[in-house]
């Protein structure tokens, strides 16, 4: 049977014959016409190599992206770290401000009379307050009391002496005896108790004033804050 006859008698072929016919014709047709040439092989190999390079690039990029992701993960903690740092700063600043404004007299360093900072409470100490350019020398309380007592007794004695002179009415005798004039003595009589009072007041009262000073400052600041928030006009 010729090829043309085969094609004409397809309807009379059995399934097996038909299968054989199609197989042979299809295969031979494709095998003759379609073949892989060297050019296609070279192109395919080049395509594979270029794909490999692309994959390598993508892989490297992914690696760098992973590193970047690590940085981003670290960055996520930056707000927390900054908040903690801010909180620490506020605490430190607050404590510094508190110690500056609210420190008490007892916080001052005691200084011995010779200027040594390692003095005790019984030694004289210098206080440097804002507004005071020079330190004031103070004495311990016991010494101060003794001095006050002595000076008071002396004054009393002096006044008694002056009274004697006055009673006698002989001022010249007094001058001759080297006694001070009445005016001077009267001045002394008048001033010395005041000085005594100032001496009496100085150590303890100063302590009290120094104690009260920071409290006043704090109250003043609080008042200013409150007044800034709630102006008096509004109230």
Partner 1 sequence: MKDKMQEKEQNQEKNQRIEEIIRTYGDEILRLLYLYVKDLDTAKDLFQDTFVKVHMGLKDFRSESNIKTWITRIAINTAKDYLKSAWNRKVSTLSEYDTESEIDIRDENTRVEETVVNKDIRKNVRDAVLELKEEYKEVITCVYFLEMSVETTANQLSIPPGTVKSRLSRARSALKEILERRGLQ
Q: Which part of the chain contacts partner 1 (CB under 8 A), choosing from 7-15, 66-74, 121-129, 151-159?
A: 7-15
User: For residue 117, how far is the Cα from the chain centroid?
Assistant: 29
Cβ at position 32, least distance to partner 1 in Å: 7
Q: Which one of 27-35, 109-117, 189-197, 216-224 is the stretch in contact with partner 1 (CB under 8 A)?
A: 27-35
Q: Is 34 in the site for partner 1 (CB under 8 A)?
A: yes
- Which residue matches tokens 């004033």? 209
Environment class of 162 (CB within 10 Å of its CB; exposed 0-12, middle 13-18, buried 19+): buried
**What is the smallest separation between the CB atom of 17 and partner 1, expressed in angstroms?**
11
Q: Which is nearer to partner 1, 47 or 83 (CB)?
A: 47
CB-nearer residue toward partner 1: 12 or 142: 12
- Is residue 28 at the binding interface for partner 1, with CB under 8 A as the rule? yes
What is the Cα Rg of the chain in Å?
Answer: 56
**Nearest CB to partner 1, comparing residues 1 and 80:** 1
Site for partner 1 in 40-69 (CB under 8 A): 40-41, 43-45, 47-49, 51-52
| 165 closest CA partner among 183, 151, 187 | 183
Distance CA 124, CA 137 (A): 7
Segment interacting with partner 1, rule: CB under 8 A, options 34-42, 62-70, 138-146, 191-199: 34-42
**What does the DSSP 8-state code read for residue 36?**
-
SS3 content of the chain, % helix, strand, coil (to 5): 75, 0, 25
Nearest approach, Cβ of residue 12 and partner 1 (Å) = 10
- For position 6 contacting partner 1 by CB under 8 A, the verdict is yes
Determine the Cα–Cα distance for residues 120 and 127; give it in Å rounded to an integer: 14
Question: Which of 4, 78, 79, 80 touches partner 1 (CB under 8 A)?
Answer: 4
DSSP, res 211 = H
Rounded to a whole number of angstroms, the minimum distance from the CB of residue 57 to partner 1 is: 15
On the 0-12 / 13-18 / 19+ scale of CB atoms within 10 A, 125 is buried
Residues 124, 110 contacting (CB under 8 angstroms): no
Residues of this chain that interact with partner 1 (CB under 8 A) are 2-4, 6-8, 10-11, 13, 15, 18-19, 21-23, 25-36, 40-41, 43-45, 47-49, 51-52
């Amino acid at each position: 049977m010729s090829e043309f006859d085969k094609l004409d008698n397809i309807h009379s072929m059995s399934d097996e014959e038909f299968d054989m016919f199609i197989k042979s014709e299809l295969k031979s047709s494709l095998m003759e016409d379609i073949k892989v040439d060297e050019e296609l092989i070279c192109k395919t190999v080049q395509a594979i190599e270029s794909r490999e390079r692309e994959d390598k690039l993508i892989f490297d990029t992914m690696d760098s992206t992973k590193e970047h992701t690590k940085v981003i993960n670290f960055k996520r903690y930056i707000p927390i770290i900054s908040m903690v740092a801010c909180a620490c700063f506020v605490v430190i600043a607050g404590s510094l401000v508190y110690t500056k404004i609210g420190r008490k007299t007892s916080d001052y360093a005691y200084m011995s009379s010779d200027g040594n900072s390692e003095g005790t409470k019984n030694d004289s100490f210098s206080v440097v307050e804002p507004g005071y350019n020079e330190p004031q020398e103070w004495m311990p309380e016991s010494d101060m009391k003794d001095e006050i007592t002595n000076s008071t007794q002396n004054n009393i004695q002096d006044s008694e002496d002056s009274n004697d002179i006055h009673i006698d009415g002989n001022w010249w005798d007094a001058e001759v005896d080297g006694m001070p004039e009445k005016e001077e003595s009267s001045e002394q009589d008048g001033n010395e108790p005041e000085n005594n009072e100032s001496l009496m007041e100085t150590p303890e009262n100063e302590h009290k004033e120094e104690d009260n000073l920071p409290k006043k400052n704090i109250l003043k600041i609080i008042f200013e804050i409150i007044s800034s928030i709630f102006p008096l006009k509004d109230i």
